[in-house]
Amino acid sequence: MDLQLAGKRVVITGGSKGIGRAAAETLAAEGCELLLVARDPAALNETAAGIRERFQVAVSTFAIDLSSDAAARAVAETAGDFDILVNNAGAIPPGTLTAVDDATWRKAWDLKVFGFISLSRAVYPMLAKRGGGVIVNVIGSAGERFDPAYITGSAGNAALMGFTRALAGGSHKDGIRAVGINPGPVLTKRLEMLQRARAEREFGDAERWPELLKGMPFGRPASPEEIGAAVAFLASPRSAYTSGTILTIDGGGR
């Protein structure tokens, strides 16, 4: 299916690895031009070079920590005129209410929660002026399944779900769609790291971490490419009447 995305300009945060990189590759395959944003310049440059070589599209990078309003404004100014924003940066650490201290909680939310909000706010006037665009927020299924051992993430993701739906409630007047994706477990390096730590605790052997995945739906986590494909479809004109929707991709494991 032609997603009618050729020539669209896309900004992807957290674009150097995992879901962000997979989304970038899928959108590049559709003919999009990309601006990849992340903190690690080396990882950004490696990802950008690989995408240019494979798909022959324009890819630029911006290495910055999106934990502040000033950083969000800098990204918006650098991006200029574009069509699609994919908010994906940030990983909130696990922990219970008493285990996560204030500094950790605030640092995590500054990037994941306020990072999404600040960048959306920074680019909104441009999108409205040009007559429309799409904001895709890659959030996380913990916003639907409230886990006391992941209280910072559950609360933050729920806030971003509310933000996405509230934004979409009025953004259609400016031709802007806002959608969210709630991935369940995704086979990224971060998931492997977490499962290795768990396998070490439970089995005394980190190398047995794949055994911990067998109880998941279909016996596996999602792949980054599966989430990236959903990002591309929801951002595309093929999904032009979809706004305020949160798509959960967890294998039915609710």
CATH top-level class of 9-186+224-245: alpha beta
**Any idea of the CA torsion for 141, 145, 150, 156, to the nearest 10 degrees?**
60
Taking residues 213-233, what's their average pLDDT?
A: 95
**Domain coordinates in residue numbering, the chain:** 9-186+224-245, 188-221
Model confidence over 54-98: pLDDT tens digits?
999 999 999 999 999 999 999 999 999 999 999 999 989 888 999
Model confidence over 3-60: pLDDT tens digits?
999 999 999 999 999 999 999 999 999 999 999 999 999 999 999 999 999 999 999 9
**Any idea of the CA torsion for 19, 22, 23, 24, to the nearest 10 degrees?**
120
- How confident is residue 254, by pLDDT bands cut at 50, 70 and 90? low
Distance (Å, whole) CA 6 – CA 30: 6
Model confidence over 174-212: pLDDT tens digits?
999 999 999 999 998 888 888 887 888 889 988 999 988
Q: What does the chain come to in residues?
A: 254
> What is the pTM for the complete model shown?
0.94
Of 145, 203, 79, the C-alpha closest to 153 is 145
